[in-house]
Amino acid sequence: MKYCVLIVDGASGWPLADRGGRTSLEVARTPNLDAVAQAASVGLVATVPPGMEPSSACACMSLLGYDPRIHYRGRSAIEAKSLGVPVEDGDVTFRCNLVAVQDGRMSSYSCGHIGGHEAQALVASLNEELGDASVRFYPGVGYRGMCRVRGRGEVLLADCTPPHDIPGKPVDDFLPRGPGSEYLRNIMTRSQEVFRDHPVNRGRVSRGEVPATGVWLFWASASVPEMPLFKAVYGLDAAMTSGVDLMRGLALMLGMEILEIPGVTDGQDNDHASQAVGALEALERKDMVVLHVEAPDEAAHAGSIADKVEAIERVDGEIVARLLSWDKEPLRILVAPDHATPIETQTHAGEPVPFVLYGPGFMANGARRFSEAEARGTGVLIEEGYNIMHRLTE
């Protein structure tokens, strides 16, 4: 038996008033997912334990079969693992987004999805101007970066808000607060001076693109404890493909091979077909592959219904269709979003999300489509989300 886990990041959501009360999953044309749902076990899975933040770190940890209440100690250190950032005892890491603030409001949590050499040049300037023995900056995927603070353990206690939670809102209301917050605010304020007349920003303005006005620190964590390897827990040799540091960090922590597939990104330009082909090629030598697709979540954070629907449809037509064509060995498939990302809020929600378990041993239970309403209608709810991996592999 072979296994595939397809995580469609942020694909779930709420009914959209200007789409006749349908969610993005219901608006999207998904003939392959719908065919899977009609032949599969469908239901809802609670990927975010009560009281925990509805982040991809918690939610994907659940889908991969690990209880976040035991293993989750903060997101940034997981991403630091992917980037090879050295984290010692007493260090605190932060996600460090390149952002755009206009007229005192968060206008872009991603600086217009800046990336590549421009993001790297901005981070390099941060290290030149602000970096010292206590603070260091590291570029990540696209607008995402890391900040490591050394010798200032109190900053771990600061109350920080993710920038994607406050689109269009006054940033002064959401700056870091509490212990260590003054130190973090100082970094964020000084970054504005570094970026003010930066050559990268001059170029972006000349092209009509969003300039980076500073950095935003959030998702603090200390070093992450060791997690039991996936093969030791589930007896399966697994590989993962993803365009984001978080998932690559989790893969490293769980002993999964990271698949380097050309064209896999974190956005709408993701080469879904190549991702599927590369994953299926890996499945010939691995027991399980995990495909993580970030695009629907990024579209929802940007408030774009059209982009989110398009991303879901591409997953259906370019990934799910290829998974269904696999005929080398019996294959079980789990498809699920990690969490909901409603267009209305442009941020994550912690409610249960729809799942399908398809393949040998799974029976149809009445669902007609892959959607929130159809999943709810089956009456199936996996309350301890990490148990879904046991259901897939038992």
Would you state the pLDDT for residue 72? 87
> Fold for domain 2-71+226-393?
Alkaline Phosphatase, subunit A (3.40.720)
Compute the distance between CA of residue 85 and CA of residue 88 in angstroms, rounded to an integer.
10
Would you state the pLDDT for residue 244? 94
Would you state the pLDDT for residue 233? 98
Structure tokens at 185: 């605010």
Q: What is the pLDDT along the chain (394 residues), one digit of tens a residue?
A: 999 999 999 999 999 999 999 999 999 999 999 999 999 999 999 999 999 989 899 999 999 999 999 998 888 888 988 899 988 889 999 999 999 999 999 999 999 999 889 999 999 999 999 999 999 999 999 999 999 999 999 999 999 999 999 999 999 999 999 999 999 999 999 999 999 999 999 999 999 999 999 999 999 998 777 899 999 999 999 999 999 999 999 999 999 999 999 999 999 999 999 999 999 999 999 999 999 999 999 999 999 999 999 999 999 999 999 999 999 999 999 999 999 999 999 999 999 999 999 999 999 999 999 999 999 999 999 999 999 999 999 9
Domain ranges of the chain: 2-71+226-393, 80-221
Residue 8 main-chain phi, psi, to 5 deg: -100, 90
Per-residue buried b or exposed e for 72-90, using 16+ beta carbons within 10 Å of the residue's own CB: bebbbbbbbbbbebebeee
Please tell me whether residue 376 adopts helix, strand or coil conformation.
helix
pTM, to two decimals: 0.87
Residue 299 main-chain phi, psi, to 5 deg: -65, -40
Would you state the pLDDT for residue 77? 86
